[in-house]
Chains A and B, each alone.
Chain A
């Protein structure tokens, strides 16, 4: 098991290094922050002065090495858009908002999708199953930004049940969390359903039924426990996609998390913050997948011995 964990960790570090190269290169490929920071009537002197001030006149490899060295200790430099703050501080300040919203979205996804998937499989071909199929289809077809705006107009503007947007308590989180969770509900429902169908068709489940075990135990104790391994592996993807999904949903709902921060930073070519956000997303995604790998190995011994 230790060897398995060590191998996965080393893969993570290699991935992280590659990500630093990609992040640094891509952020510089989008252009110079000077162009975003300076006004339309900037003089040559202003351009030169700010270029030097931000260290952008140094060769790319020097800028990259400095970035790498500082990133290793969590220092991504000072934000150019949010002056007076370090990039890491800006990200950390916005992180709780994203985690709160993402956490609620995960909760909604699991609470809705797992029972929906299980019951769809149990009542295969029924009206309930077809309805679940329609929900899954719609969830995977609706773009999150469109769904967000529609939810906002119906439940905030027309009905007045929730605030339209902004940062606040649970009432502010419900609409964006649903917009974020819907796609995942669709995916998780389908995964759970197919895993359950497979398990429900196995001999040990049939044997349990023949032995007279009550149906609730058959479904939740014998079938679901074994089927759950498939949705569990999906949690790594779920965590990552909730972060990336936050970019769209947070922008629509003016929710001040890291997703909206990423958009603002990209628009303002705030390299330190863009790099910081992407590195955070990457580390989060890698950690989530690492945990899923470990969990998977714990649940299924074939994985750690393969």
Chain B
């Protein structure tokens, strides 16, 4: 609830107004409701990247709230790299300070944070980008990262995705990890107040923040609510000012006069994967009975899907058709022609799909013609079960034999680790990752064991791509990989979507965030209260 709590007692306040002619000071609290994170801890490196600490903690690099481009709104004022992208140097802002009097941010804090984040207990998403990285403090405000291999996209781990956020070494030296558990010092314009396990976190405004940009409200309460219906009830009863709702419930909120605020850029891509398509020669684990090993079946499945219907049903029409999963105009390797060719190559066409199935001899020529479609839930993607049902409807209509396999996401993870996830299953790319990371995760053996597709051509291109330090060449190689993915129907790309929050317009007038974090939202300090 957006509460207006008189800090001074009413009577005294009235007296003061009369006496000095000023308006009474009011404390403003923004209440935001979101799903509980996978892991609740103040030790960020022990989470997969659920950045509930985002309001108070920062990385070295920031993002422009409108374009999403990297900028120096983080802790580094500038950065540079050597010619082959193996040494990155960051200059820290001398004015940057930790909360609670833990002093200035120095290069030693960065070195300390890297050690924490790459320890044996790390569970961070994307931590592979920091594997083998060595940080060295050159002086108090200069730190270098020496990498074992070139990394053109190294800023990604320092930005909104936040694989490396900066903790205070001084606090650790004095209080140990228990200090972080109790009250971690961050650097943003909101500071940590408390965590109530299972309930949420509270932050408060830092007065006269070192960045010169104070938050426009006094407190932020992040409340964890697992049930979407309960979240909607909190919004409709105006207990909450901002909520993250599944799309199927957003209509109720919008119909009641609440407002949707999307991220300024796409934050998430969704797709269905043909997992188990490991086509590298000599791979012993290939299950040759999988029907989608035949490219005609992959194309037929893609042509059986009415993507506009998917977007209308799952995303209330507020999404874009995605031409290639992993490809994005903001990152290298974007091939505009693929978007132009998409309708011709992937467009909804049942006749074409059935012709392809007949040509492939489906189902007679397949020993195991059933397409198992995974129905599962994943925090941040509540539409996945409905997506599975839609896929079954489309595929059944085309004449495929299908079955729904219900499984929790963690179990799918286990199967993927064992390379046994032989299913047509949903996947997301949140936040939209740099091309090299996306390609590695989904289409290359270098992303093993949890990748889903491999072929000789991509592997050859990938070898060159991973070592290339020439911008043009990288762009060309990434583009070639995406083109191969497209032409091989390696996955069934579905939609490119923005992160959305629903707000009570009586209490929140604006919030600009670029959709660059693993929870979609960021820039909490720039929430603008309605009054």
Known: A43-B128, A84-B42, A260-B226. Contact between A156 and B199, CB under 8 A? no
Q: Is the CB of B123 within 8 A of A50?
A: yes
**Given A164-B237, A165-B225, A166-B223: A36 touches B41 (CB 8 Å cut-off):** no
B-contacting residues, A42-87, CB 8 Å = 42-47, 49-50, 52-53, 80-85
Nearest A residue to B178 via CB reads: A84
Whether A164 contacts B413 in the complex (CB less than 8 A), given A82-B197, A264-B198, comes out as: no
A90 to chain B, nearest CB (A): 7
A31: Cβ under 8 A from any B Cβ: yes
A38 close to B (CB within 8 Å): yes
Report which of A80, A84, A160 forms a contact with B177, defined as CB distance below 8 A.
Answer: A84
Is residue B120 contacting chain A, with contact meaning CB distance below 8 A?
yes
Please, what's the 1-or-0 string for B233-254, where 1 marks a CB less than 8 Å from any CB in chain A?
1101101000000000000000
Partner of A38, one of B36, B123, B234: B123
Interface size of B by CB at 8 A reads 57
Residue of B at shortest CB range from A45?
A: B131
Query: What separation, in Å, do the CA atoms of A196 and B455 have in the docked complex?
Result: 77
Interface size class of A (residues with CB under 8 A): 35 or more
Q: How far is the CB of B77 from chain A (nearest CB, A)?
A: 30
- Expressed in whole angstroms, the minimum distance between the Cβ of A45 and any Cβ of chain B is 7
Query: Does B158 lie at the interface of the complex (its beta carbon under 8 Å from any beta carbon of A)?
Result: no
In chain A between 241 and 297, which residues have their CB closer than 8 angstroms to a CB of chain B?
251-254, 256, 260-261, 263-264, 267-269
A-contact bits for B66-82, CB 8 A (1 contact / 0 none)? 00000000000000000
In the complex, A215 has a CB within 8 A of chain B = no
* Known contacts A41-B441, A83-B39, A84-B177; is-contact A167 B414 (Cβ 8 Å): no
Q: Which residues from 126 to 142 on chain B have a C-beta closer than 8 Å to any C-beta of chain A?
A: 126-128, 131
The interface stretch among B212-220, B346-354, B445-453, B482-490 is B445-453
CA–CA, A158 and B224, complex, Å: 23
**Most chain A CB within a 10 A radius of its CB, from B41, B223, B413:** B413
A-B contacts besides A80-B39, A82-B39, 15 pairs, CB < 8 Å: A32-B414, A34-B414, A36-B410, A37-B123, A39-B49, A40-B416, A44-B449, A46-B122, A82-B41, A82-B197, A84-B41, A149-B229, A165-B230, A256-B198, A264-B198
Q: Which residues of B contact A (CB under 8 A)?
A: 36, 38-43, 46, 48-49, 120-128, 131, 177-178, 180-181, 196-199, 223-227, 229-230, 233-234, 236-237, 239, 408-414, 416-417, 427, 437, 440-441, 447-450
For the complex of A and B, 7 pairs with smallest distance between CB atoms: A39-B125, A83-B41, A36-B410, A35-B413, A84-B181, A256-B198, A35-B414
Question: Can you name 8 A-B pairs with beta carbons within 8 Å?
Answer: A32-B414, A35-B414, A36-B409, A39-B126, A41-B450, A80-B39, A157-B233, A165-B234
- Interface residues in chain A, defined as those with a beta carbon under 8 Å from any beta carbon in chain B: 31-47, 49-50, 52-53, 80-85, 90, 93-94, 149, 152-153, 156-157, 160, 163-167, 251-254, 256, 260-261, 263-264, 267-269
